[in-house]
Chain A
Amino acid sequence: MSDRWVAVLSGGLSHERDVSLRSGRRLSAALRSTGLTVTELDADHELLNRLSIERPEAVLVALHGGEGENGAIQSILELLDIPYAGTDPRACRRAWDKPTAKAELARAGLPTPEWMVLPQSTFRELGAHPVLDALVDKIGLPLMLKPVQGGSALGARVVRESSELPSAMMGAFSYGDTVLVEKLVEGTELAIGVLEDSEGPHALPAVRIEPSKGIFDYTARYTAGLTSYQAPAELSEGVARRAAELAVSAHRLLGLRDLSRTDAIVDESGEVHFLEVNVSPGLTATSLMPMGIEAAGRGLGEVFDGLIERAIDGRD
């Protein structure tokens, strides 16, 4: 039992505010049950002032999207010299921008679906149809479209027919100015959590995701009952090993710290493809990271309590 006092940051102004508030509440309750004193703070105009006056012993960032994942809040915490659990600002930026993370992994020879990055301005300048046609010629259908930044599948769309492409592009652009277009790899969806301790990063048991309607969109993610999960996922030994290695490699290659969650897909041949990595994974009642923690026989409060100790006492 720890008697520390920590602050949990959640909310913010991103499209994922609602999810973040739920993550923050669940994390805070878990920490309180381990004996910690927790203050829940929104990332607003008051935040800097409160942190610098109240000075919690450590901060946990449960912000999703925007400031919580792009390193901005972490930079502020470094300025204030307040220990925090999780990745440092520079590595946050690398992981937050999906194409940057994919490029890093591809460079290391790890499988990730073929992709292309297209800002809104390209379409405006070159015309939508020539660009979309070229895209389909080069990568082929089906495609996965997502805003390059952000999570919870917001703005993400599967495109199976080229006629769906313009509308899917519009949908993705309503969440951000740049879209990541990936070749859709179909197969078994997995989420693999990574936790770091003094011996380095370790993969948690993979969580297998099976949305009842085939698409793991916002509703499928946050409506209990609409998606089936299996943790630990039933996987062949080889696939389980490759999935774990992929998540640990992503964590190491991108320089992540303390915790991360890699989303991956296993194709028919058993190849595990990297999709994206999250430095501030969701911690809600239907989120994947807590399922992995539980499948490892551990508790959310105990795990984050351990991360707090690492943040305060140093990580060596």
Chain B
Amino acid sequence: MVQGNADGSDYKERLIASVKKEVKQLMEEAVTKKYVHEESSSVTSLCGAVEACLSQGLRRRALGLFKTSSTTALLHKIAKSCPEAEHISKLVQEIEASDPSKRSSSSSDSFQRPPMLKKSSSNSMSTGTNAAASTSSASASISVSASTSSMSLASMKYLWIRLALYEKRLTKIIEYLVSNASSFYDRDSLVADPDYGSILSSLLVGPCALEFTRAKTADHYWTDPHADELVQRHRISSCRRSSSTCSRPAIINFKRSLNTSSDEAGTGSFKSIASASVAKDYVESLHQNAKATLLYGKNNVLVLPKDVAEPMPGYLSLHQHIQTLTIKWTPNQLMNGYTEAEEAEDIDKDAFWAYALNINVDEIVYVHCHQSRGEDSGGTVILVGQDGVQRPPIHFPEGGHMQQFLSCLETGLLPHGQLDPPLWSQRGIGKMFLWPRSMRRRILPSVMESVDETPIDYVFRIVSKSRHEEFAATHSILDFVRSTPRRAQLSSCSTTGSSDCSNKSLSIDQFPLESPLLLQQQQQQQQLLQAQSTSIEMVCSTMRRQIISRAFYGWLAYCRHLSTVRTHLSGLVHGRITPEMKADEEGLTKERWQLLNVNGVLDNATEFYRLVYFGGVQPELRQEVWPYLLGHYAFGSTTEDRKKQDETCKHYYETTMSEWLAVDAIVQQREKEKTARAVAKLSSGSNSGNERTVRAADLEAGGELENEVFEDISDISDPGDLEFDEQQQQQQQAECAVSGNHLTVKPIPRAMKTSTDSGHVDEGESFNELDEPDEEDNKPKQQQDEKNPESENQVPEYRKLEEQINQEPSCSASTASSYETVGPGDVHQRPTSDTRSVLSPEYLSADDLQLPDDEEAVRPPPPAAAAVIITKASVDITNWERSPKAAEGDQMSPLEEQAGESGGAGVNMDALQQPKSACASPASSNGGVYSSELLEQFGLNLHRIEKDVQRCDRNYWYFANENLDKLRNVISTYVWEHLDVGYMQGMCDLVAPLLVIFDDESLSYSCFCKLMERMIENFPSGGAMDMHFANMRSLIQILDSEMYDLMDSNGDYTHFYFCYRWFLLDFKRELVYDDVFATWEVIWAAKHIASGHFVLFLALALLETYRDIILSNSMDFTDVIKFFNEMAERHNAQSVLQLARSLVLQLQMIIENK
């Protein structure tokens, strides 16, 4: 029994020791980190220790619970008689009710997903104090954004203890338990113990006095806020400025410096920067941020500003910057950001901004504290500055907040300053400055003494250590140099620099600008220096001179650099400034278009461009106007001219399209065959498990078309598998041949239909005409086919082999000759195709090797190609109506029948030929002669185009249907014509808007070609992108030095990669379709009116639109990329355009004034 007792007290000792340890840990964290995060691990471990104490010796029977040692049940039990417990119990139940899966009755289980807890606790905390709305909303949004993460696994642990701690009611509850221990605890339990029980409750007094934060901490720095939240925060901060986003400080700086004298401009712009940044900082102060540490924050602190009758509640915060300590107070009205009726209150808000306090602690000498005698009745702090002026009194609500504020202030002053007399370090203070009894223990129980005297007013002096040191004078110079805001220097530099930087005399004028400051400083120093020795004086003056000269030369170099950059940038804009539009003008409206476009002839190009540049084009006119903008139609052309031009274009387009369609057919066929093989291989692999031999067969059959992956296995062993393949393919052939027979002619109407949408060619007639020569053409081929009925692979390149492999099996010879019939006389008509068909010896030899005798057997059936084309076509009903006729004709032709029997050779011919003849053009039948290199290259391109077209703007109404095929046609035609360039990702995005506007393939194609003349340089093959980046750099340097500093300080030149997509696609992905149209036409017009590099200014405008957000969050490369990717399609295009135009104008003015 004695032993048991000893063990018991030993255990209790350990329990209480662990609580002590955790409390100490937590308090230390509170002091060193200046805040304690709710999810800090020390909170959890403290709760754990408390839980252990409370569950020791708990009389479960009394609670009606036998198995669990739930302290939560205990809480609910005592809720009836203890008001604090009742409150917490309610909260716990709320949380559990909102998420039934989280049963906190098993309180020691660990739970995930904290959002419920976080949300409700934040609500409950703010209900009591009626927190400033933005504080709670900001923290709520943070907790929401963070909730997806798993960072607070443990926060459901010890739920009720945790809540009680946050709510500062834990002590009371434990006190209650201790005083009623007999009904809940065994006699020898810790809580029932007369000593330990009270120790436990008193230990927890300290933690209960702490304010816990849910704010973002350094540890969670990477849980970046979403772009939305950044914009929202920015709105809150920028509600001060009623003007639009265009009023960038740096730009104002410029404008003013151009018109006013440099002195005024300098100071003026600096002020505007400063006030803007102050506004920003206020919102920043809600969060721990990179620039300043938040030492203290308290809402509903009353301050009585000047000219106001009643004290106003507001948010008081204490911030530590690198050099300084700042006290800020913001009226609640300003903390709400954009609330209801924001516009109406605009004026009021300005007034509130005047009330806001922003006090630099360096300027404060005395802190007066007033406290009334009542227990815990809050207090008033009055700050008195060096000049003896009192700042508005700050009334703290009750609850020891004044004391907390003072202690935070003292911590913040360290290590360079302190409160005199110190708050805590001396015991005697307790006598002079009285804290309410509860507070004494809460803050630092071990240090404070309990002395019961009536509280009185007290005065602290803020002492800066450096002031008392011997070499104060030197120090003050250092301080001066250090504390002179760099921005002030910069802005004064840039103003003079911008107004006239080549003027050297002005640069000397500039010099005295700084001297009044210096003089003032010197006067101050005079007094200090009197006691100093002369040697120090000399040292000081030398240093001063050095510093000033260094600053001057630095400034000079900076100006020179700027002038170089400016010269460089002058190439970006036109020298001549086009007068801006009058306010009543509305761009290119219908009426104006009719005025300009007299009798269908548009002559006044300048006026036309000017209207578009400043006002855009009315949507209905775009189809008519865009060809002019893109340079497709010439100015002064008559309606007839244009009609003719259109026809020529259409003809050309159709011709080209028929060419690549032929190749497409072959490519599709090859594709099919490859797929079939791969599938066969996989299935046979799974069937027989003899994968290797099949692969070997593939290797042989596929030749270089197959990939190298197969090369590792090279032994050919089992011919049986080859046969298997063969069988399969023959089967497929048969199937395809049947279907192919009926489908062969369909490509004709389809090609016509897609390409002649608006042309109204008599399709039926042309169809009949076309069919006949086709048949004639096929006759010689037919003869060949009869000779070689087994020949299926009429791949055109075989023709080239003819000369070399005449002695080869007859199939190649025959196929080759059959191809010659296609267009013997026309091969030389098109130089491009001619060069393509030039034989390359190496190539031939390679092909030669790839032609084993059994290859035909492995080749898949050609008709597939024709079928595939049809599925792709934008077939309409008329097409289908016609097709039976066509099929009929086919079947009547013995030649076609024969082709069907021979495995679709003729069908393949059709696929090659008919699109050409469909165009009824002499130039079209330039021969189906393609090198396999060409085939492969184009095939690869087609494949890519297909993939990207499928993915392009599927959600936009226009592309919801077969219009995607038009897109594919336009791009394929372009790529066919520019095979050296090939398809590059992004082309789809450039064609799509054109197609939406024109809804005509050939016109879109022609305009796209015009567009690509400029855009092609942006793609990886061109060098324009790097040039854009370099220009962006220079532009930012000139127009927004603050932004430039940020980018430069991050030291990552790749920064501008976030502009990559902007430039590549002319902002197509950044904006919604309607805005893309509006933006593009301005870009095109700008080339003739203001700048050939308007995209740069657009990019800059986008950047400037969000400059405050970027700057205030000091975003780095990745942040910026993420931000803009998230903001895609959510920009306000019109304001960005407007800003871009004004940026162009600014640069023009700068260059003109030079």
Are these two chains actual partners, yes or no? no
